[in-house]
Amino acid sequence: MIAAPGPPNADESAGACPRMESDMPAEELLQLAVGLARDAGALLLERFEGGREQALTSKSTPTDLVSEADLASERLIRGRLARARPADGFLGEEGGGEEGPSGLTWVVDPLDGTVNFLFGIPQWCVSVALADAQGSLVGAIFDPCRDELFTATRDGDPLLNGAPIAASDRDDLAMAMVATGLAYDASVRAAQAEVLARVVPRVRDIRRFGSAALDLAWTAMGRYDAYFERTVKPWDIAAGTLVCERAGLTVRELPEREGLPLGVLAAVPALAGSLLELVS
């Protein structure tokens, strides 16, 4: 997995030399991620409440939309990082990626849930993570509509607005609330529908809200018992999978199979095996 950043600290803002990875501990890196996620979220919330956002274009399919809000949020984050951490790499949903000499990469979804955003549905967020070769080091997911900030470091507790969170302890799949997402491509959706037909009779219920990062965060805090989705990208899940892992959930890659791209599953350990059989 990969991860993402936050805003410059006071010294960096004042024009001091940027600090490199070796002299910045995980908590400071997390605060960078938090600052960026909060500032980008504030920008997005203002636009969301103004009700003036429209799609600029589409990407993989006509329903895979990009807005000026996506681009503005990524510009803000990328600009701050260029000043605060110029030696780090960057991988973002809208602007592509580039490597950096530090060996660290910020993985950023500047607006996860663009379609919800454009339709006025308050289910979207900003996801920022920072990763090395082993995976995510820190992650921050900010939901401006609810003022909820989910954070984790590789060695720390998962938090919601600074307070520890815990995953569900459910052990009966029949009672499990499961979240998922659907691809933009119609042929992939058809294959996903076959999977859902197997899952629906075996669980309490299914939820599909449209933000992978929030689905992961909500699973980590027990609002869901499990989550799975195909076609997710690194920027969708880099922060969320870290939060889930630190909450004690089982996180597994869903291998590619006929009609279905790679995906991810996060679940309470007692449910992970049986759910994995159903969806993979």
CA 161, CA 142: separation in Å to the nearest integer?
A: 10
Q: pLDDT band for position 51 (50/70/90)?
A: confident
Examine the domain organization and report whether 152 and 199 are in the same domain: no
Lowest-pLDDT choice from 92-106, 182-196, 205-219: 92-106
| Mean pLDDT value across residues 237-257 | 97
Which pLDDT score, from 0 to 100, does residue 26 have?
Answer: 95
| Structure-token pair, residue 264 | 């991810």
| Mean pLDDT value across residues 210-231 | 98
Q: Where are the alpha helices (DSSP H) in the chain?
A: 10-13, 26-50, 68-84, 114-118, 186-199, 212-220, 234-246, 269-279
Which pLDDT score, from 0 to 100, does residue 169 have?
Answer: 96
Nearest to 138 by CA among 11, 241, 221, 9: 241
Lowest-pLDDT choice from 49-58, 86-95, 160-169, 241-250: 49-58
Which pLDDT score, from 0 to 100, does residue 132 have?
Answer: 95
CA 85, CA 17: separation in Å to the nearest integer?
A: 10
| Mean pLDDT value across residues 154-158 | 97
Examine the domain organization and report whether 14 and 139 are in the same domain: yes
Q: Is the residue at 1 inside a domain?
A: no
Which pLDDT score, from 0 to 100, does residue 11 have?
Answer: 36
Lowest-pLDDT choice from 41-45, 71-75, 124-128, 271-275: 71-75
Coil/strand/helix, residue 168 = coil
CATH code of residue 251: 3.40.190.80
Examine the domain organization and report whether 183 and 217 are in the same domain: yes
Domain boundary (164, 186, 205) is at: 164
CA 148, CA 80: separation in Å to the nearest integer?
A: 22
Nearest to 280 by CA among 269, 260, 267: 260
Question: For residues 98 and 201, which has the higher predicted lDDT (pLDDT)?
Answer: 201
Examine the domain organization and report whether 190 and 82 are in the same domain: no
Examine the domain organization and report whether 157 and 223 are in the same domain: no
Examine the domain organization and report whether 180 and 225 are in the same domain: yes
Examine the domain organization and report whether 45 and 96 are in the same domain: yes
CATH code of residue 58: 3.30.540.10
Instruction: Check whether 124 has a pLDDT greater than 90.
Output: yes
- Structural domain tally of the chain? 2
Q: Is the residue at 150 inside a domain?
A: yes
Q: pLDDT band for position 94 (50/70/90)?
A: low
CA 87, CA 146: separation in Å to the nearest integer?
A: 34
Instruction: Check whether 16 has a pLDDT greater than 50.
Output: no
Which pLDDT score, from 0 to 100, does residue 19 have?
Answer: 40
Q: pLDDT band for position 61 (50/70/90)?
A: low
185-209 pLDDT per residue, tens: 999 999 999 999 999 999 999 999 9
Q: What single letter denotes the amino acid at residue 105?
A: T
Instruction: Check whether 156 has a pLDDT greater than 50.
Output: yes
Instruction: List the domain range (segments joined by +) for residue 31.
Output: 10-164
Residue with tokens 């990208």: 233
pTM across the whole model? 0.88
**Beta partners for residue 83, in sequence order:** none
Lowest-pLDDT choice from 56-65, 73-82, 190-199, 224-233: 56-65
CA 213, CA 239: separation in Å to the nearest integer?
A: 7
| Structure-token pair, residue 113 | 């849930």
Q: Is the residue at 68 inside a domain?
A: yes
Q: Is the residue at 110 inside a domain?
A: yes
| Mean pLDDT value across residues 215-233 | 97
Which pLDDT score, from 0 to 100, does residue 5 have?
Answer: 35
| Structure-token pair, residue 101 | 């000499």
Task: Give the CA distances from residue 167 to residues 103, 172, 207, 244, 248, in Å, rounded to whole numbers and listed in that order.
Answer: 32, 15, 17, 8, 7
Residue with tokens 């159903």: 278
Q: Which residues of 14-52 are buried (b: 16+ CB within 10 A; e: fewer)?
A: eeeebbebeebeeeebbbbbbbbbbbbbebbbebbeeee
Instruction: Check whether 2 has a pLDDT greater than 50.
Output: no
